[in-house]
Structure 1
Amino acid sequence: MAPTNLQLQLQTLIAEGLNELDIPKEPASLYEPYRYSLDIGGKRIRPLLTLLACGLCNGKIKDALPAALAVEILHNFTLVHDDIMDSADTRRGKASVFKKWDQNIAILSGDVMFADAFTHLEYYGLKSDFSKSEYLNVHQTFTQATVTVCEGQALDMDFVEREQVSHQEYLKMIQGKTAALLAGALKLGAIAAHATSTQQEALFNFGMEMGVAFQIQDDLLDATADPEKFGKKVGGDIFEGKKTYLTILALERANESDSSFIQQVLDSTQPSQTDVDKVLDIMHSLNVIDDIAEEVNQHYNSALHELDDFNDSEYKHELKNLLIFLQNRDH
């Protein structure tokens, strides 16, 4: 999807805000990795959502920028620490902080990013336009999003060691790991616009539904997408033995024989193409693929419905187009 003029304007504001961050130079081992993690890019979707939400609620975009920067810094902090937990050598095509420096430096730089993210929220306590209750709301929303992301990550790690995971538990995990910060970013934009509690809740729900839909859709595309577009072969998650929404639901629905076979393939260090294809066939026979595709659409449609009561504007149009683009993506 080609960026619109509005999107380019908001992304420019975000980029300028990040470039103007007053990140100290010393100690270099602490702050160089901080700046590096921001400079290696990313889609900046979370801060963009904060600014779009503010505009949707007729707020001043400049009032949402501190929250947008806080959200982006927090997101990058989680990536720095995720790479440590995953022993990941790369991030966005470049060496991860963990790889470029070392584990101790990555931990400490992540910690200072986390702390610095909160300093940007001070704007709402210092500016007379914002009430004490709004300032408190900003902090509570940001803190709760952080806690929920950590809970989601913890569940994801727990699931690796557990033999059985229910699809309800998996949904709770992605609500935390993927959706919570999207939802929090949108709500922060609404608060920055002095929006009503109803508008704040609608935008929070919009983010939750969008985040859940996106993650389930990612799992689905692994089994259905064109491998040349998706970047990996069909059934890649099965080859890697990952617990996904598809494999979890298939295990819940399968008879004892099929369930045992699916688990055997997932546990195998080098499953054959034939075995992976058979797992995919089982998923189709159990209507797992079709039902999950329908569930993805339900989540996207629920997100779209949350925008119904907002006045028409370029911001609403932007959010709707983003949803439609995500819903129709094939990789």
Structure 2
Amino acid sequence: MAQTDLHKKLHAFIEKGISELTIPEAPESLYKPYSYTMGLGGKRIRPYLVLLSCGLCGGRIEEALPSALAVEILHNFTLVHDDIMDSADTRRGQPSVFKKWDQNIAILSGDVMFADAFKQLEFYGREDSFSKKDYAEIHSTFISATITLCEGQALDMDFVERERVDHNEYVEMIKGKTSALLACSLKMGAISAHASENQISSLFNLGMEMGIAFQIQDDLLDAIADPEKFGKKVCGDIYEGKKTYLTILALERANKQQSQKIETVLAANSPTQHDVEDVLQLMKDLNVISDIKKEVDLHYSNAINSLDLFRDSDYKQELKNLLIFLKNRDH
């Protein structure tokens, strides 16, 4: 996606805000992992959405920055704890906090990040331009997203142990793990701009649709992406026996013989390429691939259509361009 002047401006504003976070130096074992994590970079998509939403609603992006920082700190907190649960050695090409320090330090530094994320929102309780209702709504939005995110993670963990998962349950998991914080980001940006209820609702829905589309699309690309562009093994989810939107739909549509084939390959420790290709072909025969492509397009279209409520602006075009870019991505 080409970087516009607005894109560069907002990302520079976010990085400046992160660099100016007040993170104490001691105890070093608590705060150094926090600083390290925030310095690992990343796409900063959530704070970017906060600022875009605020600008789209005619607000001052300076007043949205505390919300942008809050969602980015919270997101990074979840990554620190995810790496503990997954025993992950790396994060963004660097040693994870869990690996660089240890589990106890990763837990504790994650906890202080969690607290500091909420601390950013004190801005809205101090500023005269925000009412008690505004402050309460921002807090409520952030808390609800945090709880929903945890619920999504719990569902994802539960699914690993279950034999079968319904595709509607899988979408609910996506709403928690992926959509919740995206929708929260857009909603908080709108609230910080004193937007109307209709505008706030439209942007929240945009975030939910965007998250569902993105995650289902990820599952789809794992199976059909160009190997040279994808950067990892195509059909890796099948090789690893993961429950994805594709395998769940395929099992729901398959007859007994087809189900046995799919389940056998997913359960195998080292399935052959031939077996994996057979499962992929079954998915095509059952119209799983074609139907999921349509579903991804529908969710992205719903997200884009949510922008119809807003007047034309650079912020609207930037958000629309982001959605179109994501919709058309092939890896």
Q: Same fold per TM (> 0.5)?
A: yes
1:191 is matched with 191
2:200 is matched with 200
1:23 is matched with 23
Distance 1:4 1:157 in 2: 39
Distance 2:75 2:118 in 1: 12
Q: Secondary structure at the match of 1:52?
A: helix
Provide Cα deviations, 1:54-101, integer angstroms capped at 9, x if missing partner: 000000010000000000000000000000001100000000000000
2:123 is matched with 123
Q: Once the two structures are aligned, what percentage of the paired residues are identical?
A: 68
Q: Secondary structure at the match of 1:242?
A: coil
Aligned length: 331
2:38 is matched with 38
Q: Which runs of 4+ in 1 moved over 2 A?
A: none
1:241 is matched with 241
AA matched with 1:78:
T
The 5 A counterparts of 1:25-174 are: 25-174=25-174
The alpha carbon displacement at 1:233 in A equals 2.5
The alpha carbon displacement at 1:232 in A equals 1.8
In structure 2, list runs of 5 or more residues that go unmatched.
none
AA matched with 1:209:
E
Distance 2:11 2:27 in 1: 30
2:295 is matched with 295
Distance 2:80 2:199 in 1: 33
AA matched with 1:35:
S
Distance 1:267 1:216 in 2: 22
Q: Secondary structure at the match of 2:308?
A: coil
Distance 1:5 1:289 in 2: 37
AA matched with 1:58:
G
Distance 1:292 1:39 in 2: 37
Q: Secondary structure at the match of 1:307?
A: helix
In structure 1, list runs of 5 or more residues that go unmatched.
none
Provide Cα deviations, 1:26-59, integer angstroms capped at 9, x if missing partner: 0000000000000011000000000000000000
The 5 A counterparts of 1:312-327 are: 312-327=312-327
Provide Cα deviations, 1:163-222, integer angstroms capped at 9, x if missing partner: 100000000000100010000000000000000111111000000000100000000001
The alpha carbon displacement at 1:2 in A equals 2.0
AA matched with 1:290:
S
Q: Secondary structure at the match of 2:269?
A: coil
Distance 1:148 1:83 in 2: 19
The alpha carbon displacement at 1:235 in A equals 1.0
2:224 is matched with 224
1:176 is matched with 176
Distance 1:160 1:319 in 2: 35
TM-score, structure 1 normalization:
0.99
Q: Secondary structure at the match of 1:26?
A: coil
2:254 is matched with 254
The alpha carbon displacement at 1:228 in A equals 1.1
Provide Cα deviations, 1:275-296, integer angstroms capped at 9, x if missing partner: 0000000000000000000000
